[in-house]
Structure 1
Amino acid sequence: MGWTFLLLLAGLVIAAIAGFFAYGEFTAPGPLAEDKVFMVAPGQSVTEIGEVLQQNGIVSNGRIFALMAQATGQRARLKAGEYAFPKGATMAEVMALLASGKAVTYKISIPEGFTSQMAVDRVNANEVLTGDPAAVPPEGSILPDTYVFRRGMTRQKLVADMQAAQAKLLAELWAARKPVPVIETPEQAVTLASIVEKETAEADERPVIASVFINRLEKGMRLQSDPTIIYGIVGGKGRLDRPLTRADIDTATPYNTYRIKGLPPGPIANPGRAALEAVLNPEDTDKLYFVADGTGGHAFAATLEEHNRNVKNWRQIAGNAAAAAAADEGEADASAAPTPDATPPAAATPVPAPPGGNAAEAPLADVAPAPDGPAAQPPAAETAAPEPPPAAAEPAPAPTVVAVVPKPQAKPPQPVAAKPAAVALKPGTVLTIDGQATVIPRLRP
């Protein structure tokens, strides 16, 4: 009896000492020399978790980790996931982090105006997501936003979450809408919102632009929106890498709102919340036209006369911009004029005209369409960033390079033309200056 008691007492003492040392190690700074992100796989037992944590230098003793998880009641609360363990984290801190489930999160942003193809391309390119590539959902069914996810989420699940977010928002906004006769269904609202989204990047303009399109629909006028032409050409797969041409406007597609009446058959992008709100609660205006104002925004008009004045102002702004660009290019060429022994410079790069056409052309937004006018009328609205300008951008002519012919011997070089205006000399021309014949050299291609 005495020996049994002594053995039991000795065992308790040893256990107490072991527990004391185990607790000391449990609360002591851990072996991590720097912060570390580590994935705790799902389906592991607490013993297996302790082992992998020790193997990866996160805890000093996996067995003590497992025993303390059992003793503190945390065993069933440990969660799988990717965690960021701080430098020198104690075993107790590691266990608390796993029990909290606060795993590392990642973000992916889908900008407003992205097409479904562009959104899915971004999702499929993300290396943190798992699973097969996601399929492209219907246009307009994704809500542009920033989405937070954890490692292990599948691409299909993330796209499904984006669609669910759009459906939820649309239902809320539709229930609180201002009734508009020409917008009869939520699908029509998304279609018009996608056009508004592509027409302007200015948030405060969206309700006004929405009112312009709604007013035109109510009057039986064609929408004549350039972004719809672009979507009909590229089909939502990327951007058009050139300006629109008159041939584009004249080419019939289901989305070309210069040729069709009413809305196109579906959205041309994924509109954001602001564009949806603008269409479902548009401003009450009498505006029917808008054109770029040269500041990144638009000038709106209710009459053709007022609109044409706005177009004239825009044409002047565009012309001044083109002239300034040409002048800057000319100064650059003059500063690089060849010396007698230098190789003539290559022809200058053409300077593209600003949006809306070059200085010699009117923007396409010249004439307001009659309700039943011809399909190929000029547009009523300028294309907003990030789409290309609506007019066919004819490049401004390259500045003429004037050759400088040197005089013989010690006289300094003199220009060929004594007048202030430059005189263009064709390559191969023979000039005789001070009795010396000189051939104008050809420029390198």
Structure 2
Amino acid sequence: MLKKIKKLRWILVGLAILISISGFLLGTVAYDLAQPVSTIIANPIIVTVKPGMSARDIGDMLYAKGLIKNVFLFRVVARIEGMENSLQAAEYAFTPNMSVQRMVKMLATGEISYRQFTIPEGYTINQIATLLEEKQLADAVKFKELAKDLAPYEYIQHRPELAFRVEGFAFPDTYKVKQGITEEQLLRMMVYQFNEQFTQAMRDKAAQMGLSIYEVIILASLVEKEAQVEADRPIIAGVFLKRLKMHMPLQSCATIQYILGYPKPELTIEDTQLPSPYNTYLHMGLPPGPIANPGIAAIQAVLNPTQTDYLYFVADSSGRHHFSKTYTEHLAAISRVSN
């Protein structure tokens, strides 16, 4: 009888140990499954939750996008948090380094996503409109219609030659916007950003140079489109300012490309004779308006130009410019970069 009791005791001890180990292993597995898929911060993944989708439907979608490790655990967390039936239809931005609990709370509170997009430096209004339409944030036609006349600040001039009054003032930057933003809100946001970035110190510097804000942005747009290497920007700005002072035509190839509507690698003599007020080969002084939306570096180059004796420049195949003081030197430089 004593032997049976001892045997039973050992069986019970074994079962207790087994239960403890199983509980530990199950707890470890559950803990692991509740952890983020990745610890690396990555770009957000947009998830659209449609009306009528169940917690299981949403879990399946999150699992398919690599955002959670286990659908069942997602449903368990939603139930524990009391949110299984309150997951709201909307568009969300999740990242693989988010915990399951964080995702559930975002879904339950309707913490909708923000769409992020970047306007590259030197983009024109036409290019910005196309980019926004491709990202399904705006109708390109509506955006361009608004850009024709929008002028919330007095320094944005109105001239009959301009296709878009805000050309030059839609500031290149990375923006985060809510879904459903309108074309006008998008455009105003970019113009307001320009007004913030063009500081009082920059306005004071422009005034000291005898330039209006509008003239600074026209010059900056030329520098933006001409310069491909950062170090060339202030030198090109210096050349343009020197030419203006000497009453020489700017002869900017970028203005011809603006007239053409596309970047042509090599211009012909015929191209430089195109009838347009933007043609700086035919007309003295600045073109009637900016030819692109310049970034802050191009604007700073105009406000802080290199004092130079150069009057000419030509780019080589790498995009770096070669500067010359005389037309004879310029022709030699053209010959060198062409070979």
| Smaller-chain TM-score bracket | 0.5 to 0.7
Residue 234 (structure 2) aligns with: 207
- CA distance, structure 2, for counterparts of residue 88 and residue 216 of structure 1: 56
Within-5 A mapping of 1:6-155: 38-40=47-49, 52-57=54-59, 65=78, 68-69=81-82, 81-84=91-94, 90=100, 92-98=101-107, 104=113, 106-127=115-136, 129=137, 134-136=142-144, 137=147, 138-149=166-177, 151-155=179-183
Deviation at 1:231, TM superposition (A): 2.1
**% identity of equivalent residues:** 31
1:286 aligns with 2:309: yes
Residue 198 (structure 2) aligns with: 170
1:230 aligns with 2:230: no
Structure 1, unpaired ranges of 5+: 1-23, 322-445
Give SS of 2:198's match. Answer: helix
- CA distance, structure 2, for counterparts of residue 224 and residue 96 of structure 1: 59
Deviation at 1:217, TM superposition (A): 1.1
Contact 1:291–1:311 (CA<8 Å) still a contact in 2? no
Residue 260 (structure 1) aligns with: 283
Give SS of 1:135's match. Answer: helix
Give SS of 1:194's match. Answer: helix
- CA distance, structure 2, for counterparts of residue 169 and residue 220 of structure 1: 31
- CA distance, structure 1, for counterparts of residue 284 and residue 315 of structure 2: 24
* Cα pair distance change 1:299/1:67, threshold 3 Å: closer
Contact 2:222–2:290 (CA<8 Å) still a contact in 1? yes
- CA distance, structure 2, for counterparts of residue 168 and residue 290 of structure 1: 33
Q: 2:332 aligns with which of 312, 321, 331?
A: 312
Structure 1 letter corresponding to 2:130: D
1:193 aligns with 2:203: no
Deviation at 1:107, TM superposition (A): 3.7
Q: Which has the higher helix share?
A: 2
| Higher CA-based Rg | 1
- CA distance, structure 2, for counterparts of residue 114 and residue 132 of structure 1: 14
- CA distance, structure 1, for counterparts of residue 92 and residue 98 of structure 2: 18
Contact 2:59–2:75 (CA<8 Å) still a contact in 1? no
Deviation at 1:223, TM superposition (A): 1.2
* Cα pair distance change 1:139/1:83, threshold 3 Å: closer
Give SS of 1:56's match. Answer: helix
Q: Deviations over 1:181-223 (max 9, x none)?
A: 452x111111111111111211111111111111111122221
Deviation at 1:175, TM superposition (A): 3.1
* Cα pair distance change 1:122/1:172, threshold 3 Å: farther
Contact 1:130–1:152 (CA<8 Å) still a contact in 2? no
- CA distance, structure 2, for counterparts of residue 312 and residue 299 of structure 1: 10
Structure 2 letter corresponding to 1:268: I
Deviation at 1:29, TM superposition (A): 8.7
Deviation at 1:172, TM superposition (A): 4.8
Contact 1:173–1:280 (CA<8 Å) still a contact in 2? no
Q: 2:270 aligns with which of 224, 247, 252?
A: 247
Contact 2:129–2:139 (CA<8 Å) still a contact in 1? no
Q: Deviations over 1:72-126 (max 9, x none)?
A: xxx9xx9954143869965x44434447877555443322222110111111122
* Cα pair distance change 1:102/1:250, threshold 3 Å: same
Give SS of 1:246's match. Answer: coil
Give SS of 1:223's match. Answer: coil
Residue 159 (structure 2) aligns with: none
The alignment of Structure 1 onto Structure 2 pairs a total of residues equal to 270
Contact 1:69–1:95 (CA<8 Å) still a contact in 2? no
- CA distance, structure 1, for counterparts of residue 117 and residue 330 of structure 2: 40
Residue 391 (structure 1) aligns with: none
* Cα pair distance change 1:94/1:116, threshold 3 Å: closer
- CA distance, structure 1, for counterparts of residue 97 and residue 266 of structure 2: 55
- CA distance, structure 1, for counterparts of residue 97 and residue 169 of structure 2: 44
Give SS of 1:141's match. Answer: coil
Deviation at 1:277, TM superposition (A): 0.8
Structure 2 letter corresponding to 1:215: K
Give SS of 2:48's match. Answer: strand
Residue 388 (structure 1) aligns with: none
Residue 248 (structure 2) aligns with: 221
- CA distance, structure 1, for counterparts of residue 334 and residue 208 of structure 2: 32
User: Which of 1 and 2 has higher RCO (CA within 8 Å, sep 6+)?
Assistant: 2
Structure 1 stretch 209-218 or stretch 150-159: which is displaced more?
150-159
Give SS of 1:174's match. Answer: helix
